[in-house]
Amino acid sequence: MKNGKIAIVGIGVVAPSGIDKRVFWANIKAGRCAIKKIERYDSSLYPSHIAGQVHELDAFSHVSSRLLQKIDPFAHMALVATELAFKDAGVDLAQENLNRVGIFMGNALGGWLYGETELRDLYIEGREGVSPYMASAWFPAAPQGQVSIYYGIKGYSKTVVSDRASSLMAIGQARKILLRGKADCVVAGGMEAPLSPYGLLCCNTNGDLSVNNAHPEEAYRPFDKKRDGFVVGEGAGLMILESDSRAREKGRKILAYLTGYGTTCDGVDRIKPSRDGRQLARAIRMALDEAGYKPGDVDYICLDGSATPEGDESEVRAIKEVFGAAAKDVPVSAPKTIFGNLLGASGALDVIVTVLAMEHSMVPPMLNLKDVAPECAGLDFVKDKAREKEIRRALVISRGRGGINAVLAVERP
């Protein structure tokens, strides 16, 4: 039922592993780690002060310095990724009915560099020291607004704030809106800029970050015996979605289809997911059912890989519950170990990696898995370098703090 499928027709990526999608994929394929010590300010007293950092954003930016004063870096990254995605898709917005173009974005933290700088000025200089743009620059939906203004997009739009699951949920919702015929074309994905002094402090407070500062490239090691949490990253991943029939009519290059989506909540704790993974398993089944797949149809699973004891164990348990004896035969990996966990943007980056993996018939690798923890054993982890394999159907798993589960089914055209 191809006409019920939603097509990805363009992708734009701003990531620690590269801004251009070709450079990005080359770094993923080779397993070149982009996680380094944070040196843009003295972060040495933070328990975790390593991250995946975006370089050369200005070299790729089309945003005027006048606008840059009014927005936070997370909106800047979203604007650049959106421009790259529209260009990749070959969409000419002058030819589109802008009332029928939508924006669905995910973000977890908001724009704290702008926020904290202006709050500092409030306390030092008083009311007049605060930029009037403060009110519209820091909050999680600001990038959606900026993209809307920049292109004059006026259709069905929404920003999802659901911790690290935000952007996968945004893409899932965008798919539903397109299936219901509420929009013709949607830009979907997410952005996150968690490396400001206050943003990084917030990330450090939940105790889920790796403190292996001495060895940044080895720090993010989900499913490994020596794992001690994830490593944050900054960036944005946006994609252009259209119905299959419209994409064909417009002569777009179809990169992949979004065929199913499932989401559930654990409902047990403020921070930790439920160790049994039952609700994640239910979300996986929902995505499989919607896509019309049997577990045996899946060629690759892009893992959440939180590198926390409960997160990793419950993820492996959920996969085993759904896939049964076949769980050991499905290649799995957490490519975010290469560039960091982009929090609210992580799901979008994982979808982009999966789409590029399909295009190149290579399973993207994960880093630092030397000694699989006994409770995580039994899956076919793809380590260190990409593995040649045709990927027709894949699942992407994204999970937020407190047990938010989102799963997307992706198919090669």
Partner 1 sequence: MDTKGQVKDVIVNLLKVKPEEVKDDQSLEQCLGVDSTEMVEVCIALQKSFGVQIQEKEVAKYHSVTEIAKVIEGKKG
Give the span between the Cα atoms of 309 and 316, in whole angstroms. 11
Nearer to partner 1, 147 or 203 (CB): 147
Q: How far is the CB of 195 from partner 1 (least distance, A)?
A: 24
Q: How far is the CB of 73 from partner 1 (least distance, A)?
A: 17
Q: How far is the CB of 118 from partner 1 (least distance, A)?
A: 12
Q: Which of 1, 3, 22, 64 binds partner 1 (CB under 8 A)?
A: 64
Q: How far is the CB of 180 from partner 1 (least distance, A)?
A: 35
DSSP string, 77-126: HHHHHHHHHHHHHT--GGGS-GGGEEEEEE-SS--HHHHHHHHHHHHHH-
Own/partner pairs, 392-395, CB within 8 angstroms, 24+ separation: 392/297, 392/299, 392/358, 393/259, 393/291, 393/293, 393/297, 393/298, 393/299, 394/298, 394/299, 394/300, 394/301, 394/302, 394/354, 394/357, 394/358, 395/284, 395/287, 395/288, 395/298, 395/300, 395/301, 395/302
Q: Is position 204 an interface residue for partner 1 (rule: CB under 8 A)?
A: no
DSSP state of 378: S
Phi, psi of 393 (to 5 degrees): -135, 140
Give the span between the Cα atoms of 292 and 285, in whole angstroms. 10
Nearer to partner 1, 65 or 95 (CB): 65
Q: How far is the CB of 191 from partner 1 (least distance, A)?
A: 22
Q: Is position 126 an interface residue for partner 1 (rule: CB under 8 A)?
A: no
Stretch that binds partner 1, among 64-72, 189-197, 213-221, 311-319 (CB under 8 A): 64-72
Nearer to partner 1, 46 or 150 (CB): 150
Stretch that binds partner 1, among 62-70, 71-79, 91-99, 223-231 (CB under 8 A): 62-70
Q: Is position 69 an interface residue for partner 1 (rule: CB under 8 A)?
A: yes
End-to-end CA distance of the chain: 12
Stretch that binds partner 1, among 38-46, 114-122, 124-132, 391-399 (CB under 8 A): 124-132
CA-angle at 372, arms to 370 and 376, nearest 5°:
155
Stretch that binds partner 1, among 59-67, 78-86, 169-177, 212-220 (CB under 8 A): 59-67
Q: Is position 46 an interface residue for partner 1 (rule: CB under 8 A)?
A: no
Nearest in space to 220 (alpha carbons), one of 33, 17, 13: 33
Q: How far is the CB of 40 from partner 1 (least distance, A)?
A: 22
Nearest in space to 263 (alpha carbons), one of 166, 392, 340: 166
Q: Is position 61 an interface residue for partner 1 (rule: CB under 8 A)?
A: no
Q: Is position 66 an interface residue for partner 1 (rule: CB under 8 A)?
A: yes
Structure tokens at 276: 């049994």
**Residue 84 to residues 88, 90, 169, 241, 408, Cα–Cα distance (Å):** 6, 10, 22, 14, 23
399 residue type, one letter = R
Stretch that binds partner 1, among 11-19, 129-137, 164-172, 240-248 (CB under 8 A): 129-137
Which residues in 131-150 contact partner 1 (CB under 8 A)?
131-133, 136
Structure tokens at 319: 């996969």
Q: 375 and 218 in contact (C-beta within 8 Å)? A: no
Nearer to partner 1, 145 or 347 (CB): 145
Q: Which of 128, 181, 374, 388 binds partner 1 (CB under 8 A)?
A: 128
DSSP state of 46: S
Q: What is the pattern of x (binds partner 1, CB under 8 A) and - over residues 78-117? A: ----------------------------------------
Q: Is position 181 an interface residue for partner 1 (rule: CB under 8 A)?
A: no
Q: How far is the CB of 69 from partner 1 (least distance, A)?
A: 7
The b/e string for 252-262 (b: 16+ C-beta within 10 A; e otherwise) is bebbbbbbbbb
Nearer to partner 1, 3 or 65 (CB): 65
Q: Is position 388 an interface residue for partner 1 (rule: CB under 8 A)?
A: no
Nearer to partner 1, 22 or 66 (CB): 66
Number of residues that bind partner 1 (CB under 8 A): 9
Footprint of partner 1 on this chain (CB under 8 A)?
Answer: 64-66, 69, 128, 131-133, 136
